[in-house]
Amino acid sequence: MLVIKGGQVYDPINGINGETKDIWIEGGKIVESLGHIPQDVTVIDALGMIVMPGGIDIHAHIAGSKVNTGRKLCPEDHYEHFRMAKGGLRSGVGFTVPTTFLTGYKYAEMGYTTVVEAASAPIVTRHTYEELEDMPILDKAILITLGNNELLMDRIAMGEMDEARDLVAWLLKSAGGYGVKVVNPGGVENWKWGGNVTSWDDEVKYFNLSPRKITKALIKIADELGLPHPVHLHGINLGLPGSDITTAEIIKDACGRLHLCHLQFLSYGKDKKGRMCSGGSYIANLVNEHPNVTLDVGQIVFGNATTMTSDGPLEYRIQKMTGHKWCNDDVECETGGGIVPLEYKITSLSSAIQWITGMELFLLVKDPWSIALTTDHPNAGPFFCYPQIIRLLMDRDYRNYFISLLPPRAFRGSVLKDLDREYSLYEIAIITRAAQAKILGLANKGHLGIGADADVSIYAPENFGKRQCICRFKHCRRALDFPSWVIKGGEVVVKDGVVLNEVPSVVFRVVPSHDESIKDKIREEFEKYYTISFDNYPVQEDYLKNTKEVICG
């Protein structure tokens, strides 16, 4: 048994806002207080400290084929960022694309205990599982990319919605996935011929479909299957001025729950002269009017990043723009992918507009329960910069100082300078924990009520700036960093900001019920178009040993 004594608890799901409260832990769960503290109990003195549920990241690229190509592609990312093997912990390297063990340790050292891998093609999810086995401490979940799945598109195009639904269920089960990821629906398919889509009604070549039809079908299917997490959408026109228009269109058109990921990247306006500007306030207002829609921000962090996405045509465009090295990977029958490293410069007009757009979303979306803090790691910046973003949200003076560093022209059409909202710790606990758990549908995560998983992070405010961020950005200030303690599944894993030991973790997945005959219906087509045997396709039990099923419905 473990008791966290006397801390100020921020547990928004249970409405607890900084009250002094003891947290009791046994068997990996939060339990009722015994009233008195028996002798054999470990007590953590949290007096004057902030106690929160372990942090949750709803959208990050941490493992699997694309991420690993990124690691291999960028040795220059690793040379100066390393950790030695010590005290039973493994070594690692990497800044924007850290190796697996290092990823687990660094999240934990920030107080995070659950992370979602945001995109894995079903056919390579075996690989994702292998990497996740080598990523200790964190509980995880995998979203599988279905927005350009050809067998699925065939069925949606023919209006065979029952079969489409069964197929989605079978794919989730076969890949050991947790949710449905949709990336540039139809656009990635067109990219396999060198094209793309730019409107929701563009044609998906040879499929008699549009991005709109694919997206709406999947929203409906996710709903019918009762998936804990709704469709996780990376829409069309990402990164382009005018993407706010197409984003607005899908927000208005989505009949059903929808999560819009790294929305900052899809909220750029275009002024009368065709120049890029922030569309943050426009999109935030729309989100405020649509309670069925949630988002994560994908906030820009100035410095190095590695863009990696299933949105193949996007990475091609970034490559053309930057001239940087470029990987593309078309994945048979399912999806695509690309990688380009780049740097967000504080002096660059477009980077500044991207930063402003994200900040506007944070400050103008009214309901913190509908917004999650992410950097779309490592696309907009590395995850270990979250404390910098938290500081920007909580500290208006710091934010204003930051604003003064940006090129003035970046503020054309922006309302950011007029916003004086400061997030409270309670609201921060929502956007980094509680809302993330709710949106994901993980009932035992993101709170400290009786029966919740005992994932707790404890911070001493005087330590917030203690760890110099490795981003070396001289204007970096941090909040909610350097946890004094992190407890994962009831075990202490971090003390004084440093990982002590590894603990077991699980990968969450869903197994939606479906008509088993779907296998016979697709077998023949599968063997015609894929290059592996149908029976070798599903992720075998050997990889699923440390998984936990979350019930649908």
Contact with other proteins (CB under 8 A) among 61, 71, 478, 509: 71
In sequence order, the β-bridge partners of residue 341 are 306
H or E segment to which residue 372 belongs: strand 371-372
Residue 520 touching other proteins (CB under 8 A): no
Please identify which residue in 101, 105, 178, 464 interacts with other proteins, judged by CB under 8 A: 101
Q: Which of 22, 26, 223, 329 binds other proteins (CB under 8 A)?
A: 329
Q: Which residues contact 21 (CB under 8 A, 6 or more apart)?
A: 7, 9, 51
Query: Of the two residues 44 and 73, which places its CB atom closer to other proteins in the complex?
Result: 73
Measured distance CA(199)–CA(504) in Å, rounded = 45
Judged by CB under 8 A, the residue of 532, 545, 549, 551 near other proteins is 532
Per CB under 8 A, 339 contacts other proteins: yes
Q: Is 474 in the site for other proteins (CB under 8 A)?
A: no
Query: Does residue number 397 form part of the binding site for other proteins (CB under 8 A)?
Result: no
Q: Would you say 307 or 484 has its CB closer to other proteins?
A: 307
Minimum separation from the CB atom of position 98 to other proteins (A): 8
Q: How many chain residues are in contact with other proteins, going by CB under 8 A?
A: 65
Backbone angles phi, psi at 121, to 5 degrees: -70, 135
Q: What is the largest CA-CA distance in the chain?
A: 72
**130 near other proteins (CB under 8 A):** yes
What tokens were used for 209? 């479909």
Backbone angles phi, psi at 159, to 5 degrees: 75, 15
161 makes contact with other proteins (CB under 8 A) = no
Among the listed ranges 16-24, 108-116, 122-130, 181-189, the one in contact with other proteins (CB under 8 A) is: 122-130
Nearer to other proteins, 462 or 527 (CB): 527
**Contact call for residue 378 and other proteins (CB under 8 A):** no
Contacts of 92 (CB under 8 A, 6+ apart): 82, 83, 98, 99, 100, 101, 102, 103, 105
| Of 22, 223, 330, 491, the one binding other proteins by CB under 8 A | 330
Q: Does 526 bind other proteins (CB under 8 A)?
A: no
The nearer residue to other proteins, 151 or 365, going by C-beta atoms, is 151
Question: In terms of DSSP H, where are the helices of 19-114?
Answer: 65-73, 100-108
Nearest to 200 by CA among 252, 156, 235: 235
One of 292, 400, 513, 540 touching other proteins (CB under 8 A):
540
Does the CA dihedral 197-198-199-200 come out positive or negative?
positive
Minimum distance of other proteins from residue 315's CB (angstroms): 9
Residue corresponding to tokens 């829609």: 293
Token pair in block for residue 197:
């889509």
**φ, ψ for residue 186, nearest 5 deg:** 80, -30
Length of the chain: 553
- Omega before residue 378 within 30° of 0, cis: yes
Nearer to other proteins, 73 or 251 (CB): 73
Site for other proteins in 287-326 (CB under 8 A): 316, 319, 324-326
Q: State which of positions 183-202 bind other proteins (CB under 8 A).
A: 191-194
Binder to other proteins among 16, 23, 30, 68 (CB under 8 A)?
A: 68
Binding to other proteins by residue 90, rule CB under 8 A?
Answer: yes
Choose, by CB under 8 A, the member of 282, 426, 473, 530 that binds other proteins.
Answer: 530
CA atoms of 282 and 274, how far apart (whole Å): 17
DSSP symbol at 552:
P
Tell whether residue 327 is a contact of other proteins (CB under 8 A): yes
The region that residue 381 occupies, defined by phi over 0 for left and psi between -120 and 50 for alpha, beta otherwise, is: left
Q: Are 120 and 153 in contact (CB under 8 A)?
A: no
CB of residue 159 to other proteins, shortest distance in Å: 20
Q: Supply the minimum distance, in Å, between the C-beta of residue 100 and other proteins.
A: 5
Whole-number Å distance between alpha carbons of 384 and 109: 9
DSSP state at residue 343: E
Q: Is 99 in the site for other proteins (CB under 8 A)?
A: yes
Quote the least distance from Cβ 143 to other proteins, whole Å: 18
Minimum CB distance to other proteins, residue 66 (Å): 10
Element of type H or E holding 357: helix 349-364
Binding test (CB under 8 A) with other proteins, winner from 92, 228, 241, 446: 92
Cβ atoms within 10 Å, residue 532: 11
Cβ atoms of 182 and 266 within 8 Å: the answer is: no
Q: Which is nearer to other proteins, 171 or 435 (CB)?
A: 171
Site for other proteins contains 124 (CB under 8 A): yes
Give residues in contact with other proteins (CB under 8 A): 63, 65, 68-69, 71-75, 77-79, 82-86, 90-94, 97-101, 123-124, 126-127, 130-131, 134, 150, 191-194, 206, 316, 319, 324-333, 339-340, 528-533, 535-536, 540, 542-543
